[in-house]
Amino acid sequence: MPLLFSNSRIRLPQGQIFWREIGQDTGTPLLFLHGSYQDSGQWIPVIEQLRDRYHCFAIDLLGFGDSEDPNVHYSIQLQVECLIKYLDALHLERVCLIGHSLGGWVAASFALQYPERVQRLVLASPLGVELAAERPKKTWERQLVSPVPVVSWLLKIILPLARAIGRHKKIEQLLAYRQHLLQSPTTCQLLFRRRPAEIQAEYLNHRLELLQVPALIIQGGQDTSANFARSQMYANLIPGSKFCLIEKGNNDLPEVLSQRVATELQDFLTPSSPREITR
């Protein structure tokens, strides 16, 4: 039987926002933020496990899913400003904020700016901290999805020759990866098509130690080494945070291991729970 979500839209100064809503209107509501190449539907399997105990909201961030994609300069700060306007419009004074990947970056940034509006914070494989080892990869990704696609033109030009000599697989993988990155124009703008100095200024490496909201970091054990390192950095820098390693999990925890994620969320969101979350 399909979940009976209430699907709604609201016009905010930044643009129109779409969200899904379901559950019991008791206690602090849960607000879910999706990942880089997702929308609010990513969290439906988890919400299905929680709807009987919590009032759940899952929004499409500005520029994603069924939310409006206005002609604006996207930034993490813009998403934070949109989120506070959304909470004010719905008269949600305080929420438990849950974010995956890019949504984790937005959630942590929001909690730093508006700690009084966040009761608890849950971050699953969050982006938003810089790893020195990833800088060359980020530079290459920016070139790969540049609005002037010089790199992709060159790859396509040499591809026939590479096929003739049996050296084509790497080039085909790069072109396929480019198509994956381009699936979400807003993600490309946020992660790759802004000035590096602007992206650098929004990284949270030197601000997470100021975060006073109780936080849980969830990480899949089979995810990439970079994602694991980012989650570890969050856990190490946020005072008193808890780290949960789901050993069989990848970067698709909300969709594939929804029951386990829901269990960890419920344990963390229950203040009287004696169980230690760290694995």
> Looking at the 3D structure of the chain, how many domains does it have?
2
* DSSP codes, 191-221: HTSS-HHHHHHH--TTTGGG--S-EEEEEET
CB neighbours of residue 163 within 10 Å: 13
pLDDT at 5: 86
* Per-residue model confidence (pLDDT) at position 2: 56
The answer on 140 and 44 residing in a single domain is no
Let me know whether 214 and 117 are in one domain: yes
In a domain, 155, yes or no: yes
Q: What is the pLDDT of residue 274?
A: 39
The residue segments making up the domain with residue 61 are 6-129+203-269
218 and 96: one domain?
Answer: yes
39 and 170 belong to one structural domain: no
Question: What are the strands, taking DSSP E only, across the chain?
Answer: 6-12, 15-23, 30-33, 55-59, 95-100, 118-124, 215-220, 242-246
What is the chain's percent helix, strand, coil content, to nearest 5? 45, 20, 35
Residues 91, 141 within the same domain: no
pLDDT at position 35, please? Answer: 96
Say if residue 35 is in the same domain as residue 118: yes
Is there a single domain that holds both residue 122 and residue 182?
no
Q: What pLDDT shows up at residue 279?
A: 37
Tell whether 153 and 125 lie within a shared domain: no
Residues of the chain whose pLDDT is less than 70? 1-3, 271-279
Q: What CATH number should be reported for the domain holding residue 123?
A: 3.40.50.1820
Residues 18 and 40 occupy one common structural domain: yes
- CB of 179 within 8 A of CB of 230? no
95 and 41: one domain? yes
pLDDT value at residue 98: 98
Same-domain check for residues 20 and 65? yes
Q: Assess whether 235 and 255 both reside in one domain.
A: yes
> Which distant-in-sequence residues (6+ apart) come within 8 Å of 121 by Cβ?
96, 97, 98, 107, 108, 111, 211, 213, 214, 215, 216
CB of 41 within 8 A of CB of 253? no
CB atoms within 10 A of CB 146: 14
3-class secondary structure, 169? helix
30 domain residue, yes or no: yes
Please indicate, yes or no, if residue 264 is contained in any of the structural domains: yes
What's the rounded Cα separation, in Å, for the pair 148 and 156? 14
Do 258 and 45 contact (CB within 8 A), yes or no? Answer: yes
pTM of the predicted model, to two decimals?
A: 0.92
Q: Does 52 fall in a domain?
A: yes
